Amino acid sequence: GDQVEQSPSALSLHEGTGSALRCNFTTTMRAVQWFRKNSRGSLINLFYLASGTKENGRLKSAFDSKERYSTLHIRDAQLEDSGTYFCAAERGSNYNVLYFGSGTKLTVEP
């Protein structure tokens, strides 16, 4: 079955506002990565977390292995933040296999 449940599948924000994306895991994960899809379809790294929180500019991510979830918070959203965001997690048994969420399509409107 699916290891990673990502929500919401789509999100619309007005400029200057914020929200959170969430990934729930059906099993204990060792670490999580967050990506953003670029215009060509490849993935840009946003965060890698084995625990706790990380912040970069207007983005902040958290990972709780015990509670089986990770979040990506976006604050003060800008038009250029629009795009599709993915989480991906690795299990402790084999960190070479990444389990991807289905993605969140974020649209930031003026």
The partner residues of 108 in beta bridges, in order of sequence, read 13
Residue 80 tokens, joined: 């250029």
Inter-residue contact 26 to 1 (CB < 8 Å): yes
Stretch that binds other proteins, among 9-17, 39-47, 56-64, 72-80 (CB under 8 A): 39-47
Q: CA dist 83 to 28, 75, 95, Å?
A: 28, 15, 27
Least distance between other proteins and beta carbon 40 (Å): 6
- Residue 17's SS3 state is coil
| Collapsed DSSP state (helix, strand, coil) of residue 67 | coil
- The one-letter code for the residue type at 28 is T
Shortest separation between residue 41's beta carbon and other proteins, angstroms? 5
Binding mask 85-104 for other proteins (x = CB under 8 A): -x-x-x----xxxx-x-xx-
Among 1, 41, 52, 110, binds other proteins (CB under 8 A): 41
Nearer to other proteins, 26 or 78 (CB): 26
Contacts to other proteins by CB under 8 A: 31, 33, 35, 40-45, 48, 50, 86, 88, 90, 95-98, 100, 102-103
